[in-house]
Amino acid sequence: MDVFDVDQINRLIANRRSIYPRAFADEPVEDSVINQMLENANWAPTHKLTEPWRFVVFKGDGLKRLAQFQSELYERVAGQNGTFENIVFEKLKKNPLKCSHVIAIGLNRNKKGKVPEIEEVAAVAAAVQNMQLTATAYGVGCYWGTGGVTYMEDAKSFFDLEPEDTLMGFLFIGKPRIEWPEGRRKPVGQKVKWITK
């Protein structure tokens, strides 16, 4: 196996940040970066090699199509159940247009059901983390959002998901026009217990 620069890897992990669409510059991210993000996602750990992650990439006019679909679906569903908020509607209509790319994140449920669902969720989350770390390595900002239409059943077919599958949100991607944010974490020692005897 190759020997890696461990200090660089540690710095990369510690510098991953959520950077929101409002902080994106009006400058596209190269498709080659997006392709590398997706390639690295494909190497996430996966129990029994189910590889449950599914992605739909939106760019260019595809972002307009996504914005229209999700704002209209939200307006219809939230209007019917009395939860409609104009601020949410406007965000769904405008946020994709602030991005270079948006990647819809799906979980394709293993049809044989031999792998517990939580393990499939963990595999998809690991794939997304690989994409986030790759974006950080390229100086590209991204944010995993789970609001809007994420948990609406009527949204699934738009993203080529079956009823038993799960839409797990969206990765909003763009070149940041801000300084890279500082990190905030409590010491790891507060969250770890070692047992040696």
Q: What is the pLDDT of residues 146-166, one digit of tens each?
A: 999 999 999 999 999 999 999
Q: According to the model, what pLDDT value does residue 2 have?
A: 84
Q: Look at residue 1 and tell me whether its pLDDT is greater than 90.
A: no
Helix, strand or coil, per DSSP, at residue 174: strand
Closest CA to 55 of 67, 40, 70, 65: 40
The residues with which 173 forms a beta bridge, in sequence order, are: 101, 142
Q: According to the model, what pLDDT value does residue 158 have?
A: 98
Q: Look at residue 30 and tell me whether its pLDDT is greater than 80.
A: yes
Helix, strand or coil, per DSSP, at residue 143: strand
Q: Share the mean pLDDT of the chain.
A: 96
Residue 148 lies in a domain: yes
Dump pLDDT digits (tens) for 39-67: 999 999 999 999 999 999 999 999 999 99
Q: Look at residue 112 and tell me whether its pLDDT is greater than 80.
A: no
Domain ranges, residue 39:
31-62+102-178
Helix, strand or coil, per DSSP, at residue 125: helix
Find the CATH number of the domain harbouring 159: 3.40.109.10
DSSP state of 177: S
Here the tokens at position 4 are 């890696």
Q: According to the model, what pLDDT value does residue 122 have?
A: 98
Mean pLDDT within 108-136:
93
Residue 26 lies in a domain: no
Dump pLDDT digits (tens) for 59-93: 999 999 999 999 999 999 999 999 999 999 999 99
Residue 44 lies in a domain: yes
Measured between alpha carbons, how far is 81 from 90 in angstroms, rounded to an integer? 18
Q: How confident is the model at residue 138 (pLDDT cuts 50, 70, 90)?
A: very high
Q: Which residues contact 102 (CB under 8 A, 6 or more apart)?
A: 57, 58, 59, 63, 66, 96, 170, 171, 172, 173
Q: According to the model, what pLDDT value does residue 114 have?
A: 83
The residues with which 102 forms a beta bridge, in sequence order, are: 58, 172
Mean pLDDT within 164-193:
96
Residue 145 lies in a domain: yes
Mean pLDDT within 164-173:
97
Helix, strand or coil, per DSSP, at residue 56: strand
Residue 130 lies in a domain: yes
Residue 50 lies in a domain: yes
Q: According to the model, what pLDDT value does residue 103 have?
A: 98
Residue 58 lies in a domain: yes
Number of structural domains, the chain?
Answer: 1
Measured between alpha carbons, how far is 129 from 140 in angstroms, rounded to an integer? 14
Q: According to the model, what pLDDT value does residue 105 have?
A: 98
Q: Residue 127: phi, psi to the nearest 5?
A: -65, -40
Here the tokens at position 8 are 């660089």
